[in-house]
Structure 1
């Protein structure tokens, strides 16, 4: 085996999928691209990593809500573009031709073009690590959407696209919570 530089070790376990997080700051909607996400357990609790370097962070802190929108591989160039410009001076919905949709619970918009949208409330911010813990309060999925493959960031400007789904539900039945 070849030694790997420790500064690149995160590329081995970079989380995924890449998501778009929407916020509303009382004046306008914004979108940020996030590749650092984490499912906390079988409950609808998630974590994202973001901080003051993202224009949306102030709205996230103040309003304590957002939407996690899950894009698919056909949206990759828009997802990267959103992540490489600032909402401070760019209307990302207009620039990337995305459609904001009013959610059921939060003021932050859903993104119509995404496969799924999860409306969330902020339940904790762990400042030392810039971890924002979110609880889902509503969710929807576009069952008519043909493209369902998501993308995962490696962390070095390359991405991995979901592949074939392999079913082992019967083997894992004793470990899955009811309804999953």
Structure 2
């Protein structure tokens, strides 16, 4: 073992795939690239960390709803480009030729080109001020099983990305735990 920079150690436990966070405010839709999201509970509860300087931060604070869209490796360059411009002055759906689809529960659109979309409402902002953490409850999930490309992307935080590989099925080895209470 060799010493590794502590400020880069997060890449070993990076919480989930790079996502697109879709929001809408006063009829204007926006997308941001986000690599700090995680599952908090299977119920489903998710967490997303946004910087107070992000345009989406203010929209999410006001509307308390969004769509978590999960892009795949074929969209990697688009995902990076979305993260390199601001929704304040850019219609990202138009600029990047993405299709906004109306959801069932929130005003923020789903992204048709993504593998999956999860409509969410913000349920806890108690750590938003200190950490930028928004806790969200999933309301409806959408999945495009016809998409040929299904590998998700994971940011290393330095402009490089890891790509998911093939799925390995070990369900027969999984223990089914029961509560002792």
With the length of structure 2 as denominator, give the TM-score of the two structures: 0.93
Unmatched segments (≥5 aa) in structure 2: none
> In structure 1, the residue corresponding to 2:174 is in which secondary structure?
helix
Aligned to 1:105: 105
Aligned to 1:166: 168
Query: RMSD of aligned C-alpha atoms?
Result: 1.3
Aligned to 1:4: 4
For residue 152 of structure 1, the aligned residue among 145, 151, 154 is 154
CA contact (8 A) 1:45 1:134 kept: yes
Aligned to 2:22: 22
Give the superposition deviation at 1:72. 0.4
State the aligned residue count: 176
Give the superposition deviation at 1:62. 0.8
For residue 134 of structure 1, the aligned residue among 133, 136, 161 is 136
Q: How does 1:82-121 map to 2 (within 5 A)?
A: 82-121=82-121
CA contact (8 A) 1:11 1:156 kept: no
User: Alpha-carbon deviations, 1:118-148, whole Å to 9, x = none?
Assistant: 0000001212111110100011101111110
User: Alpha-carbon deviations, 1:139-178, whole Å to 9, x = none?
Assistant: 11011111101000111110000001111222225049xx
Aligned-partner Cα distance in 2 for 1:173–1:102: 40
With the length of structure 1 as denominator, give the TM-score of the two structures: 0.94
Aligned-partner Cα distance in 2 for 1:102–1:175: 39
CA contact (8 A) 1:15 1:153 kept: no
- Structure 1 runs (4+) deviating above 4 angstroms are none
